[in-house]
Structure 1
Amino acid sequence: MITFEQFDENDFNRLINWVNTEEMLVQFGGPLFSFPLTIEQLKEYRNDKNRHLFKVIESGGNAIGHAELFQSDDEKTVRICRVLIGDKTKRGQGIGQQIINELLNISFIKLDKENVELNVYDWNTSAIKCYEKVGFAVNPNKTFESEVNGNVWKAINMTIDKGNWMS
């Protein structure tokens, strides 16, 4: 069982330690951050009023991850971004699904949005499977590319609407 708490300045160093390679930072943050991640970047990130930032807490009280909801220009849609289970020993245990379900609950119930979307790199098959398990579907009309150390990473877009989530 996980819970969310507000991500604040006390969490900055933990997040910096979790995303300690350029590849990990791009996988986690997309084009938002530059390597290496710094306190200054995180202060600016935290001050963006369109972002709802959370630290993920396990039942024992330890912070094990990070998650974000971003309010896009479309007032009916929110985007799930920067989801990370930073504690590597907690990966592969279904916690990702718990995080996504909680983000969807916040999006559809608390924020009263109609649609939720996210972007994920196409090689991240475990994340894609996690998103599909909670009801996300691939939007084939929306893809993005990033270059990381001379390699091109393709991101796909996935969506879910309130009706499908509730059924």
Structure 2
Amino acid sequence: MLFKNGKLSVRLLELKDNSILVKWLSDPIVLEFYEGRDNAFDLDMVHEKFYNRDKGVVRCIVEFDKLPIGYIQYYLLDSDDSKLYGYTDLSDVIYGMDQFIGEVAYWNKGIGTLLVKSMVEFLVEQNQADRVVMDPQTWNERAIRCYEKCGFKKVKLLPKNELHEGEYRDCWLIEYIK
């Protein structure tokens, strides 16, 4: 387990989690906000995206009251992302992170805020992060409100940054500074 905060815990992704990822990533309600409703996952896609990829990304399952409810990942920003985001002149330790709550019954209960705050605290304290960044799509106002409650600030607009449901969508670069 990476950390625990009350009923919330985050642990490393295990192979046995593949079926829960398929469940979440084939739910149109979840896909509306993560990956897109035109991109439902099957077991092969889950293995391709979550298990057979870059070793620099730390992939985790989010549990609440010992039940898996979501996914979170974090990674040191690479040179391509640093360039895209405009961090080429900084010597800061910068982490990126992405997450979703896959169990819709756990939405709108403050768990996302608790998760983001807890992960930022973990990255700052355990990984010596100076900054943590994310790039949510501009239309995802609920997520952006959550991130702003956690201390993130909008830094710059990233036009047509992410393909979602057949079109490239604008995203905000948001950052938390220690």
- TM score, norm. by length of structure 1: 0.81
Report the 3-state secondary structure (helix = DSSP H, G, I; strand = E; otherwise coil) of the residue aligned with 1:100. Answer: helix
Offset of 1:53 from its aligned partner? 1.3
Partner of 2:132: 116
Aligned residues: 155
Amino acid at match of 2:137: Y
User: Which residue of 95, 101, 118 corresponds with 1:78?
Assistant: 95
Q: Residues 21 and 63 of structure 1: is their aligned pair in 2 closer, same or farther, counting only changes over 3 Å? A: closer
SS of equivalent residue, structure 2 residue 52 = helix
Unaligned runs of 5+ in 2: 1-6, 83-91
Percent of residue pairs bearing the same amino acid type = 19
Separation (CA, whole Å) in 2 of partners of 1:113 and 1:136: 14
Equivalent residue number for residue 11 of structure 1: 17
Assess, with a 3 A threshold, how the Cα gap between structure 1 residues 56 and 109 changes in structure 2: closer, same or farther. Answer: same
User: Where does the alignment leave 5 or more consecutive residues of structure 1 unmatched?
Assistant: 163-167
CA change 1:90–1:141 in 2 (3 A) is closer
- Contact kept, 8 Å, 2:25 with 2:40, in 1: the verdict is no
- TM-score, normalized by length of structure 2? 0.77
1:94 and 2:110 aligned: yes
Q: How does 1:33-112 map to 2 (within 5 A)?
A: 36-37=41-42, 38-41=45-48, 42-45=50-53, 48-59=54-65, 61-73=66-78, 76-81=93-98, 83-112=99-128
Deviation readout 1:67-106 (Å, 9 max, x if unpaired):
011111266100012x111110000000001110111012
1:99 counterpart letter in structure 2:
L
Shift of 1:149: 3.9
Q: CA RMSD in A?
A: 2.4
